[in-house]
C-alpha cells in the first residue's frame, strides 16, 4: 500500500504538476524515509495520522537535522497528504494547521563555562596545535560565525588595540573585541607554526592548511568534533558561538552590545539568548533552593 501510494503521488507530480525529475526525486527520498519510520512503528501513510507525523518531525529534530531540512521534510509530507485527500484515500488532512518548523522557537545549546575551559585546554593534533587552538580560542573569544573565522586575513587583527575586523553576512563589516589570551595564541601561531604549514608559499588568509589553501568549514568542523569527542561533548562551531553570547549575558552584558558583536541585524535574534539564561537561573533555583 505505501509503495503504491507513493508511486501514484510521484506520477501525479510528474504528469499533472510537471515538476522536474530532480525535484520529484527529492520528494521520493523524503517520503521513503517517512514511510520507513512509520513501518517500524507498524503504521502507514493512511493510519499514521497527525501523531505519527509529529513523532517523525520530533525524531528529525532530535537527530540534529537543521530547521531548513526539517521544513523540507514537512513540506513533502504535507504535499502527499493533500494528494491523498484529493484522491479520497483519506477523509481529512492530518497536516492541516500543522505549524512549519521555521516558526518554532529555536533555543540554542550552550556549554557551561567549565566545559568550555576544558575544551580550550584540550590536546590538539601536534602538527597543527597552535592553528587549531587559536581558531577555537578566537571563536569563543569573539563569537564569530565559522564562515567569518576561516576568511580572516592577518591584517584584520589589530593586536595593540585588541579587536578584529570581521566581514559578516551581506558583506557587513563589524569590529569585535578579542581576548588577550586569544591574541597571544594567534601571535604564537603566526610566528611559530604558520610558516612551517605554508612552506614558503604565500596566502592571504590567516588560518591555512598544509596545501597552502585557507581552512575550510568542513575541515574545522571535523577538528572540533574530534576535540569534542575527547571531552565527551557534542561540539560544533555554532555551539561555541552560542556559548560566547550566553556567557556574556549571564555575566551581565548589555543585550545591544552582544547584538553588535554577533552581527545580528535584528535584536529579536539576539533576545533568544535571554531565554536560555533565564532557564539556567530557574534550574539553579530549583536545584538549590530548599523550598523550590
List residues with catalytic annotation: 145, 169, 238, 241, 264, 273
The pair phi, psi for residue 140, each rounded to 5°, is -75, -35
Rounded Cα distance between 112 and 283, Å, is: 13
DSSP letter assigned to residue 43: -
Buried/exposed code over 21-31 (b: 16+ C-beta within 10 A; e: otherwise): eeebeebbebb
Place of cell 553588535: 260
Residue 238 CA: distances (Å) to CA of 58, 66, 136, 255: 21, 12, 12, 19
Place of cell 523540507: 72
CA distance 84 to 15: 16
Rounded CA separation 238/240 (Å) = 5
**For residue 193, what is the DSSP state?**
I
Burial 176-201 (b: 16+ CB within 10 A, else e): bebeeebbebbeebbeebbeebeeee
CA dihedral 202→124→222→110, nearest 10 degrees, is: -120
Closest Cα partner for 55 from 39, 67, 38? 38
Amino acid at each position: 500500500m505505501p509503495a503504491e501510494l507513493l508511486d501514484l503521488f510521484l506520477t501525479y507530480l510528474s504528469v499533472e504538476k510537471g515538476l522536474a525529475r530532480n525535484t520529484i526525486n527529492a520528494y521520493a527520498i523524503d517520503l521513503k524515509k517517512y514511510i520507513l519510520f512509520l513501518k517500524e512503528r507498524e503504521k502507514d501513510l493512511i493510519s499514521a495520522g497527525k501523531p505519527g507525523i509529529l513523532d517523525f518531525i520530533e525524531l528529525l529534530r532530535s537527530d540534529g537535522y537543521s530547521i531548513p531540512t526539517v521544513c523540507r521534510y514537512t513540506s513533502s509530507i504535507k504535499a502527499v497528504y493533500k494528494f491523498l485527500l484529493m484522491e479520497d484515500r483519506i477523509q481529512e488532512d492530518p497536516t492541516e494547521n500543522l505549524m512549519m518548523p521555521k516558526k518554532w522557537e529555536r533555543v540554542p545549546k550552550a556549554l557551561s563555562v567549565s566545559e568550555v575551559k576544558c575544551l580550550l585546554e584540550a590536546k590538539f593534533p601536534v602538527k597543527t596545535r597552535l592553528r587549531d587552538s587559536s581558531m577555537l580560542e578566537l571563536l569563543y573569544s569573539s563569537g564569530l560565525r565559522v564562515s567569518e573565522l576561516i576568511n580572516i586575513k592577518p591584517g584584520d587583527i589589530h593586536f595593540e588595540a585588541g579587536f578584529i575586523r570581521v566581514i559578516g553576512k551581506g558583506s557587513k563589516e563589524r569590529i569585535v573585541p578579542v581576548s588577550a589570551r586569544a591574541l597571544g595564541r594567534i601571535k604564537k601561531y603566526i610566528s611559530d607554526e604558520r610558516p612551517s604549514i605554508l612552506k614558503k608559499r604565500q596566502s592571504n588568509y590567516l588560518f591555512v592548511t598544509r596545501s597552502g589553501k585557507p581552512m575550510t568549514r568542513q575541515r574545522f568542523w571535523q577538528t572540533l568534533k574530534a576535540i569534542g569527542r575527547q571531552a565527551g561533548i557534542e561540539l560544533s562551531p555554532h555551539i561555541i558561538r552560542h556559548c560566547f553570547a550566553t556567557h556574556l549575558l549571564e555575566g551581565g552584558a548589555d543585550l545591544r552590545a552582544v547584538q553588535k558583536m554577533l552581527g545580528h541585524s535584528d535584536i529579536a535574534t539576539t533576545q533568544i539568548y535571554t531565554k536560555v539564561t533565564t532557564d539556567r537561573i530557574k534550574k539553579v533555583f530549583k536545584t538549590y533552593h530548599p523550598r523550590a
